Amino acid sequence: MAAAVANIGMEWLQDPLSWVFLGTVCLVVLQQLRRRRGKAPLPPGPKPLPIVGNMGMMDQLTHRGLAALAETYGGLLHLRLGRLHAFAVSTPEYAREVLQAQDGAFSNRPATAAIAYLTYDRADMAFAHYGPFWRQMRKLCVMKLFSRRRAETWAAVRDECAALVRAVAVGGGSGGEAVNLGELIFSLTKNVTFRAAFGTRDGEGQEEFIAILQEFSKLFGAFNVGDFLPWLGWMDLQGINRRLRAARSALDRFIDKIIDEHVRRGKSPDDADADMVDDMLAFFVEATPGKATGAAAAADGGDDLHNTLRLTRDNIKAIIMVRTLRIHTRRAVHHPSI
């Protein structure tokens, strides 16, 4: 028996593929040992399982579950979710270190595959990496898109507020009946946002856009195995990649049509009925040269912004999508059945 095993071992070692296999195993082991020696020790945390790590605990990772883990492992604990490393901060001292002392190291927001794809590779301000582009986008939002001067010129705000007052008067009537102010105020916010973004009234494409946002919202929060185990992402076991392509294609068709219409219209951002798309087209790289000049460019330091910032279609679509998705999130809170 021993002789037979020895003969099999000798034959296996004579095979060149066997040496390739042994060399690969040794290389992987040595590489893992070198990585462990060169890295600083991780904070304490529950022991992860091979491959999946602590993913089996994901149903416990609520604020209460993390507080319970903090009582065992301390104010800074480590969790491994597949290939991802996550850290939970539970004490004021560690929170101050993360949010103030080491703010620059933690300023970038992680993005799942869905977020990266649906925001056109972080083309908006919400998920862009901290740096020159993010600072310019923030300046655009503060000084142009959501400035007080722009809000005061939106005719949609006055029209929708007047409609809200009429709805309250009609709903209450002379009999003093109850009026659902929460629903009316939410409808006001939704209509103002849609009209401010696209310059159209309620019902003109709004339901189509809301349907797109519903799918975006679901995809943003969907559990995707590929985010935690990247080598399984290509298999698309849950059909997430197919849904991502369909959702972004629908958004492209919807907003590209609006952008083309606004480009043909050529309205100035200074006009009283100008909307968010008109404001961003002043920085649009495909727009007519010289379009970024005028009173809007000179106001509030706009010359510097126009000289340094150029927006693409992807930037415009990502900004509009993230902005209006916030309104849809409020709607989902009021209507959990969505």
Distance CA 163, CA 188 (A): 8
Give tens-digit pLDDT for 194-251.
777 777 665 567 778 878 888 998 999 899 999 999 888 888 889 999 999 999 999 9
**Predicted pLDDT of residue 321:** 84
Long-range contacts for 307-310 (Cβ within 8 Å, ≥24 apart)? 308/136, 309/136, 309/137, 309/139, 309/140, 309/283, 310/283, 310/284, 310/285
**Predicted pLDDT of residue 213:** 83
Give tens-digit pLDDT for 258-289.
889 888 887 777 776 677 888 888 888 775 45
Q: In which residue are the tokens 């002789």 written?
A: 3
218 CB burial (10 A radius; 0-12, 13-18, 19+): middle
**Of 23-32, 272-281, 285-294, minimum mean pLDDT range:** 285-294
Non-local CB neighbours of 240 within 8 Å, separated by 6+ positions:
113, 114, 219, 222, 224, 226
Tokens standing for 271?
A: 């006009």
> What's at 212, amino acid-wise?
I
Residue 54 has φ and ψ, to the nearest 5°, of -100, 20
Question: What's the CA dihedral at 133, 138, 141, 147 to 10 degrees?
Answer: -150
**Predicted pLDDT of residue 3:** 59
**Predicted pLDDT of residue 243:** 95
Give tens-digit pLDDT for 319-328.
888 877 765 5
4 CB burial (10 A radius; 0-12, 13-18, 19+): exposed
Q: In which residue are the tokens 């800074």 written?
A: 76
Residue 80 has pLDDT above 80, yes or no: yes
Residue 73 near residue 44 (C-beta atoms within 8 A)? yes
Tokens standing for 215?
A: 């799918």
**Predicted pLDDT of residue 294:** 38
Distance CA 316, CA 55 (A): 36
Q: Where are the domains of the chain?
A: 1-109, 132-290+301-326
Rounded to two decimals, the pTM is: 0.72
Distance CA 90, CA 94 (A): 7
